[in-house]
Structure 1
Amino acid sequence: MRPKLSIITVNFNNNSGLSKTLESVRHQSFSSYEHIIIDAGSKDGSLETIKQYAEGNPHVTFWVSEPDKGIYDGMNKGMEHAGGEYLQFLNSGDFLVGDVLGQVDFDGTEYIYGDVRVAVSADKKINIQSPFPLDLVFILLKDTICHQVCFIHHSLFNNQRYRTDYILASDWIHIVENIILRGCSYKRVPVCIAEYDGNGISASSGSLGVDERMRWIKDNIPAAFYDSLLELDRTRMELNEYKNSELGKIIPIVSHTRRFSKRARKLVLFLYRINSIFSSSSRRHKNQKKKK
């Protein structure tokens, strides 16, 4: 019988973090899952930990330890062996909070996500509530939904893989392309799904993540519209200040309505498609010139 969920764990020389991840999965009462572990050839004892975890564990359907080309390459490897209806990428150092999987209704919604806990230090943890509905400006300009708390329908990877030419932003790109641009169904589960280390690569290389997002936006969203989004964000901040003042009762916060978000998404999708057509045409023209 096909499992409801494929949990994919990518690891490289993080044996202590990997042990926490595996234990959090082992303690779930939810049973309709398989666990796939992709190790990048670790030399710190991770391989022994994986072997011990996999021995006699019917949920471990595949594991491997071999060099790869980075996190997203490892995550893509895991996809190739995943048979679940949904995929969750719970990498080493990330762990499920309590017996949480039993609280998720895997009802066919294409993107299901919950809240996240960030461990800033040994004695300080921050609970972050993921937004719903997703705001176009929030996703493009400000933040994302952490992949650790996402359950992604397998169909969204039928013709897609995480881009390996990005180091940090590929899961953000997948969210933008599917939820914002293609309009796939999504919902938020109001529970904390997972905890991750706030001092990991995403935090220590934050500027790289911003640079990669800007690179994708530059290649896919017309500059004039992106500038308009920036102006919209500034305007909304000003409107929020007015909203909290005496004038707030007479100023409509138009940009906070669901209708506005839908219209903005349609406009982004239209411009994205136009840009894709011209980019494709330009590539074909260059290839023809090379052949000549």
Structure 2
Amino acid sequence: MKVSLITATYNSEKTLEFCMNSVLSQTYTDIEYIVVDGNSSDNTVDLIKSKAKDSPNITWTSEPDKGIYDALNKGIEKATGDIVGFVHSDDFLADDECISQIVQAFKNHKVDGVYGNLHYVSFENPDVVIRNWTSQPFQPKLLKRGWMPAHPTLFLNRKVYETLGNFNLAYKIAADYDFILRIFTSSKYSFHYLPKTVVKMRVGGASNKSLKNLIRKTKEDLKAARTNHLSFPLSVIVMKNLSKIPQWFKK
């Protein structure tokens, strides 16, 4: 099975090399690596060019976009793999076997999606775990409790995107939650939980950089819950936020 991995970048020179190396060091070889840059003004593009010279499986573009979800949509449109996943520029795959194990899970369980666990790590020292997002096998009732898999760990059959569409750009921060609700509320798809840390994310993402962003994200989460017809959407979002508290104590 061919895997398309997509990285969206914008002025990511501090973290991008670490991110790209985590992809390029995977033991699984049938990987198409798509890097979508938003017209960076630092050394990001030079770094991408340098990596692409030595790695024929890298394709990349650099042009203005409408934000990260627009960039990810561009990457999805370019993807030709059977499986599509994201490795954001501040993130990295947890070990060299991640993609191999994800592909094996798709083969063994005949599912449409595979997801795992995520570690939030220190920006300066990625060996230091700040927060541990441990997921669980999917059951529809979990959505009513505000549950979602960590989006960076979610790998999907490309046909899911072809059927349900890409990220809704009306959301600036919560398009991933909206998309997850779209696919996990559909009875058409099946999922497998891989009980391992798949991705490590440096702290300081777009959704938690400021109080203003946290408020906006909560409003967008509520909109997504209503749009996707969850019962008692306000209660769902309250539980969604409360469920994050134990993650700070699981190191």
Same structural fold, with TM-score higher than 0.5 when normalized by the shorter chain: yes
Partner of residue 133 from structure 2, selected from 128, 131, 151: 128
Counterpart CA distance in 1 for 2:216 and 2:233 is: 21
1:5, CA displacement in angstroms?
Answer: 0.7
The letter of the residue matching 2:5 is I
CA–CA distance in 2 between the matches of 1:217 and 1:130? 20
Q: Deviations over 1:119-176 (max 9, x none)?
A: 1454541332112234534x35534222211111101111301111101211212221
Q: Deviations over 1:24-70 (max 9, x none)?
A: 1111111011100000000110000000011131211x210000011
Query: Which structure 2 residues correspond to residues 142-291 of structure 1 after superposition, within 5 A?
Result: 142-159=146-163, 160-204=165-209, 205-221=213-229, 225-226=231-232
Amino acid of the structure 1 residue aligned with 2:57: H
Q: Which residue number in structure 1 is paired with residue 38 of structure 2?
A: 40
CA positional deviation for 1:101: 1.7
Greater Cα offset, 6-15 or 97-106: 97-106
Q: In the alignment, residue 87 of structure 1 is paired with which amino acid?
A: V
Counterpart CA distance in 1 for 2:81 and 2:60 is 16
* Cα deviation code 1:213-248 (max 9, x no counterpart): 1112334427xx316966xx7xxx9xxxxxxxxxxx
Output the amino acid matched with 2:28: F
Q: How far apart, CA to CA, are the structure 1 residues paired with 2:234 and 2:66? A: 37
Q: What is the aligned-residue identity percentage?
A: 26
**TM-score when normalising by structure 1:** 0.71
Q: Bigger radius of gyration, 1 or 2?
A: 1
* Aligned length, in residue pairs: 226
Paired residue for 1:290? Answer: none
Equivalent runs, 1:39-188 vs 2, <5 Å: 39-60=37-58, 62-99=59-96, 100-104=98-102, 105=104, 106-107=106-107, 108-120=110-122, 122=124, 124-125=128-129, 126-134=131-139, 136-137=141-142, 139-159=143-163, 160-188=165-193
How far residue 206 of structure 1 moved from its aligned partner, in angstroms, is 2.8
Greater Cα offset, 141-150 or 206-215: 141-150
With over 3 angstroms needed to count, the CA separation of the structure-2 counterparts of 1:201 and 1:80, relative to structure 1, is: same
Higher relative contact order (CA 8 A, sep 6+): 2
Structure 2: give runs of 5+ residues left out of the alignment: 244-251
> What SS does structure 2 have at the residue aligned with 1:145?
coil
The AA in structure 2 aligned to 1:38 is V
Relative distance call for 1:212 and 1:32 in structure 2 (3 A) is same
Out of 8, 11, 18, the position equivalent to 1:10 is: 8
For 2:183 and 2:233, how far apart are their aligned partners in 1? 22
What one-letter code is carried by the residue in structure 2 that aligns with 1:102?
S
Deviation of 1:91 (Å): 1.3
Quote the offset at 1:208 in angstroms: 2.0
Counterpart residue number, 1:278: none
Task: Kindly state the Cα deviation for residue 114 of structure 1 after the two structures are TM-superposed.
Answer: 0.8
| Unaligned runs of at least 5 residues, structure 1 | 238-292
Kept after mapping to 2: 8 A contact 1:117/1:128 = yes
Instruction: Please tell me whether the aligned partners of residues 39 and 65 of structure 1 are also in contact (alpha carbons under 8 angstroms).
Output: yes
Query: In proportion to residue count, which structure has more helix?
Result: 1
Instruction: Report Cα offsets for 1:75-111 as digits up to 9, x if no partner.
Output: 0100111000010011101100111222221324111
CA contact (8 A) 1:9 1:91 kept: yes
User: What is the alpha-carbon distance in structure 2 between the residues aligned to residue 189 and residue 199 of structure 1?
Assistant: 26
SS at match of 1:117: strand
TM-score (structure 2 length as normaliser): 0.82
